[in-house]
Every structure is written in structure tokens, then in C-alpha cells.
Chain A
Amino acid sequence: MSDEVLSVKNVYVSYGDFLVLKDISLEVKEGEIVLILGANGAGKTTLLKTIAGLLRPIKGEIRFLGKRIDGLHPYEIVKMGIGYVPAERDLFPLMSVMENLEMGAYIARARKQKEERLRFVFELFPVLKERKDQLASTLSGGEQQMLAIARALMTSPKLLMLDEPSFGLAPKLLPKLFKTIKQINLEGTAVLIVEQNVRQTLSIADRVYVLENGSIILEGPSDRIRNDPLVRKAYLGI
């Protein structure tokens, strides 16, 4: 139990009367990369938003490092150590790349490690260093994605949640992206990732949950999931 970073237990989330997530339970252990698979509208983004505090579950509990976080505000959850990169990226368009990164280090804990974290993210994404004085809105899609990940890393998260990080990226950038995610993970950050790019994500993920119509229908280590007939048919097209 002690190596559990995140645990979601019997969580229900609704938009108005419409139940989007039903009885979701999942966990992320220390050092893991966990992948959530599912078709559009299965509830993947809703799940990440709920963990990040942007949505509130109507039932169930969410614990992070043993403490309950459901019901907390997003900014409190960031302080506890969850970094979230939403699919919309939610950057600050009229601020420079550097200012975006500095704001990632807004919370007290992260501010102390700012210089060290900056060096780390510039090592991961050298292009951000080149563009540090440019406004975020002038970056290309791929660069904006890197900035969004880098900004979340500036918060010194113990768990990083990524929503479709490959979306809108040129295919030739993808191997580098997944290598970087693996590298972040090896530096000691657990990763919870939602991805359409199943094949490449499976190659770095430790465990997988498959979400369908708001419920988890399958879970297991990625080797087993990769060979599951349902996954092969629905997500790998084999």
C-alpha cells in the first residue's frame, strides 16, 4: 500500500443528470507509467479533470499519497504534487515562454527549486530555451505542447497527468515525445497518461486501464493488454 501514489475508489462523476463516470477505481504506484485507453467520449478527460479538481465526483474517494483530495480546489491539488497537462494546454498566450515556466513554479515548494527545475526542463526541451523570450501564442503546436508539459514539470509534481500529449504533433516528433515522457518518469515522477497513440504509449506504459462508456472494462500490465483480443481489435487495428 505504501508505494501507492494515487488511488481512485468507486468514483462517480456526472454532468447534470448524465453520468459520465461510473464506479471508477484505479491506482498509480510509485515509479509507474499508467495508460488509460478508450474511445472518444469514454470519459478519459473527465477522469483526469476530476483527479485534478476541476470537476467534483458525486460519489467515491480519491487519495493522493494517502490524503483525500476529492473536494479540494485545483490549486490545492497542485500544491500536493499533481501536475496536469490538459488537452487544451491552457497556456498563458500573452506571456513569454519564460514567464509561463516561472508561473509553473508559483507555489512555494516549487519556487525554491526553480533554477534546478528550469535547467531540467530546458534539458528535456532545448527548443524552449531558444524561444524563452517569445510569447507563448507564437509557438507552434508542438512547441506549445512541450511548454505545457514543461510548465507542469515546473510545479515539481510527484504525479504527472497528460491528456493526449501527442495531439496535433507532427508524426516525426512522436518517438521523441514518448522518449521524453519515459525520461521524466525515470527521474522519479509517476505518470498517468491518456493517449490515442496506443502502440507507442503501450511501449512505455507499465499498466493499462481500458475505459468504455464511463466504466473500466479491462485492466492489467501492458504486455497482457497488448495481446488482449479486444484491445488488438479496437485499438491496435489487428
Chain B
Amino acid sequence: MAMGAEVEAIQTRNSEVRKSSGRFGGPTTTAGRQEERLGWMLLTPTVLVVVLVAIYPLLETFRLSFTNYRATRPDAWRYIGFENYRDLFADDVFLRSLRNTFVFTISSVGLETILGMVIALTIHSNFKGRGLVRTSMLVPWAIPTVVSSLLWVWMFHDGYGVINGVLVRAGFDRFQNFNWVGDPTTALGAVVAVDVWKTTPFMALLLLAGLQVIPEDVYEASRVDGASKWQQFWQITLPLLRPALLVALIFRTMASFRVFDMIFVMKQYATDTMSVSIFAFREMMVKQRYGFGSAAAVVIFLCIGLMVIGYTRLIRVEEG
């Protein structure tokens, strides 16, 4: 989702939180009861939206995943237990999509972290035009995912793309008409490249924020002790950056794991790059196999759910 959430999440961990009075029971005073009523009143619209449009459909997806429901014959369905899940893990295309998703997630989050770190360390010094560089990093982040995909499809174009154009001009003639997005050996890499381009700046800005709060005297002290730049990075920068890094990593992992639009726009239903989300989407919305597709959707939900639990543990909402 948008980057504000991560930022605010980090803030909450530390912000002063008002102690709640009636922790083990209801409020006892009239004013307290009134406050409770007002609180619930203000909460109701949001809770209604969340419950009716997200939680209820989610439960419905769980239920569907235990049925053989198909939209093509809506009245002939029954509960079939875990059969969909068994079939799922025997389905080659699903297993392939699971593998693609893991490869996509690990390589893009890994590359984003390393590249983001290099960029953050570079910008983390005073120089003229620093503001400009930071602003430029908001550009890939603000461009809609569909647009980024189309943009890179055009740059990757086999005949007229600028990437092959530059490569050929630099003497790499074998890239003349090379189809980066179409060739099964490079397709997943091309998709990862687009994701890395879109999200590295965001990673760099988060890490930069973390870098800026490491006190300069820690470095000063280690310099006196004769630590090299390399040692300083591993023994000071990295450990002190850990909280910011961890939050950024979990957020990026969750977002990558459910990837849909970026790959869909570039490759549609091609098996060599299909993600689990695209697999689930096709089973449900194209093949109309709602039961089977829902099982795949549940798998994604559970994986991301685990990450969310880990994440909320990490930031401890409202320690009251």
C-alpha cells in the first residue's frame, strides 16, 4: 500500500499513548459511559465497511475453497473438504506460479534492499542538489504500476526499444531484436527489473531516514579506535539500521508476494511469469472455478496473514 502506513506504523511504536482507564471492565462514570458510546458511534461506519466488504467476503472465500462451486453450474455444488487444496498442490501450473512468486519476491526484495542501501548511503552526505535527488526518487514511486509496466514493455521492445538500441550501439550485436519480456529465460528477470525500479527509491528513502538518526559521534569514536569504513558499515550502520530495515523488508515482502498488476500487464497469463495471484484470478474469474481458485486465494491470504502477525508483533500497537 502507500508508504505513509509504514512510516506512521513506526511512529506509533514510540509515540506517547494515553493510558486507557477501563482495561478490565466497562467505564464506571456517566462521562465514561458517554465517551464509550461516542467512541462506538464514530467507529461504526468504518467497522461496517470493513466487516461487510472485506471480512464477510473473506469468510465466504474460505467457505468456497471447501466446495466445488463453479459459476457455470451455480446450483450443483457441494462441500468437498480439503480436495481443492490437495489438487492445488498437485497442479503443475500452481506449483510453477508458487515458485515464480517466491523467486520474484526474494530477488526483487533482495535487489531493492541492496540497491536502496547503496543509494541511501550515497545520498546520506551533504552535497548541492541533494533535495533534487530525493525528489527524483519519488517519481518511480508515484507512477501507477500499470504505467510503469507499459513504460518498461516499450523500453524492452525487441525491435524499437531503447534498451536494445543502446546495447547494440555499445557493440552487443546479439541483443538486436532480443525479446526481453517474451523470452522465457529473461521474462521473470524483466519483471523483477521493473519492480526493482519502482520500489527501490522507496526503500532508499526509508533507509535514508534511518541513517539520519544514527549519531555522528558513534562513527567518530570508532574512527579513533581505527575501524575501517567497511567495519563501520557492518558493526555500526547495519545494527543501528535494523529496525527501519526490518519494517521495510516485511512491508516489501508482503507487497511482492501478492503481485498481480505488474506481471499481468506485462505478461498476462504466461506460465513462465505467472504469480499465485494471477493463477487464482484466472481460476476464479476466467475459468469460473470459484472453489479451486478460492483455495489458491486462501493460500496467499494465509502467507500474508503470517507476515502481518509478525509485523504487528514487531511494532506493538499501542503498548498501554
Real binding pair: no
Residues of chain A at the chain B interface (Cβ within 8 Å): none
